[in-house]
Amino acid sequence: MSLYAEPPKSLSINDLASMKQAGEKISCLTAYDASFASLLDQAGIDVLLVGDSLGMVIQGHSSTLPVTIQDMVYHTRNVTAARKRAYVIADLPFASYASPEQALLNAAQLMQLAGAQMVKLEGAKFDVIRFLVEQGIPVCGHLGLLPQSVNQLGGYRVQGREPEQAGQILNDALAIEQAGARLLLLECVPALLAAQISQALTIPVIGIGAGVDCDGQVLVLYDMLNISMGKRPRFSKNFMAEANSIEDAILSYLNAVKNRQFPAAEQAY
């Protein structure tokens, strides 16, 4: 039996844009399966991100690189089967969008076979974004720390501390909006830079390790439930520490995001 009094209205990209305009923070968590997707949806989380972080938290790899498009289709289908209200974004995995044509084939799988409403891709791939948008595919950009480029970056580090790199990230963010992206995820950048970018862009900016002034926040679900293997990143928080149940922890995250209590200074750079 559903816990909903009546079926909730499914959120659209326009609803997320209106939230930014109204100053309402957008809550987002990663989801990889139907049971958690249903819990998050019923708690009122606005956006479910089927992240390629599943390579680490579900598959046990040390990076997101081994994740395939088949993995993403499988997990995205599980999430969309359970969600009623939340907006669902699916990651294009490593090396699945090297050209606009390859990106289209893979994004189409995430949307047609798995029901994603938007795809996310990492980096300053303006041509790919423009092409996908022309084909009617909503795109979320991803700047700052790019986990799919970890071997090139030499580790998971804060990006944009130096003025030159900060300027580059700001310019890339503006160009991603110009290319037609409808959302931007900023990962592990100084809070001041993220605030500047969130102000400069008309599209919503979702932060992870990017301070409280982004238009919304995302965390890896297993990190905030404290069930990930290994060390929790500094920008995350164990919401189970003061909760009696998983539902409590999710609601406490939702409230903390909406009320600007998360992230606090200790979770920002």
Distance CA 31, CA 142 (A): 18
The dihedral built from the CA positions of residue 247, 71, 133 and 97, taken in this order, carries a sign that is positive
By CB under 6 A, the residues from 70 to 109 that bind ligand KIV are: 91
Cβ 218 to ligand KIV shortest distance, Å = 5
Torsion region of 73: left, alpha or beta (phi above 0 gives left; psi -120 to 50 gives alpha): alpha
Crossing angle of the two packed helices 126-134 and 100-112, in degrees rounded to 10: 50
187 catalytically annotated = yes
Q: Which of 41, 52, 71, 223 binds ligand KIV (CB under 6 A)?
A: 52
User: Could you give the dihedral angle defined by the CA atoms of residues 135, 183, 181 and 160, in that order, rounded to the nearest 10 degrees?
Assistant: -140
In the complex, which residue's CB is closest to ligand KIV?
51
The residues with which 218 forms a beta bridge, in sequence order, are 28
Pick 93 or 180: Cβ nearer ligand KIV: 93
8 Å CB contact between 140 and 205 = no
Cβ 35 to ligand KIV shortest distance, Å = 18
Q: Which of 181, 218, 249, 256 binds ligand KIV (CB under 6 A)?
A: 218
From the CA atom positions of the chain, what is the Rg in Å?
A: 17
By CB under 6 A, the residues from 156 to 195 that bind ligand KIV are: 187
Crossing angle of the two packed helices 69-82 and 100-112, in degrees rounded to 10: 30
Q: Does 220 bind ligand KIV (CB under 6 A)?
A: yes
Cβ 54 to ligand KIV shortest distance, Å = 7
Long-range contact list for 240-248, CB < 8 A, 24+ apart? 246/39, 247/39, 247/43
Which one is catalytic: 187, 242, 247, 266?
187
| Stretch binding ligand KIV (CB under 6 A), from 51-59, 71-79, 127-135, 237-245 | 51-59
Q: Which of 42, 53, 96, 117 binds ligand KIV (CB under 6 A)?
A: 53
Pick 30 or 117: Cβ nearer ligand KIV: 30
The dihedral built from the CA positions of residue 188, 192, 195 and 200, taken in this order, carries a sign that is negative
Q: Find, among 187, 151, 173, the residue nearest to 49 by Cα.
A: 187
Q: Mark residues 30-49: x for contact with ligand KIV by CB under 6 A, - for none.
A: x------------------x
Cβ 51 to ligand KIV shortest distance, Å = 2
Cβ 64 to ligand KIV shortest distance, Å = 6
Q: Which residues are near ligand KIV by CB under 6 A?
A: 30, 49, 51-53, 91, 187, 208, 218, 220
Q: Which residues are catalytic?
A: 187
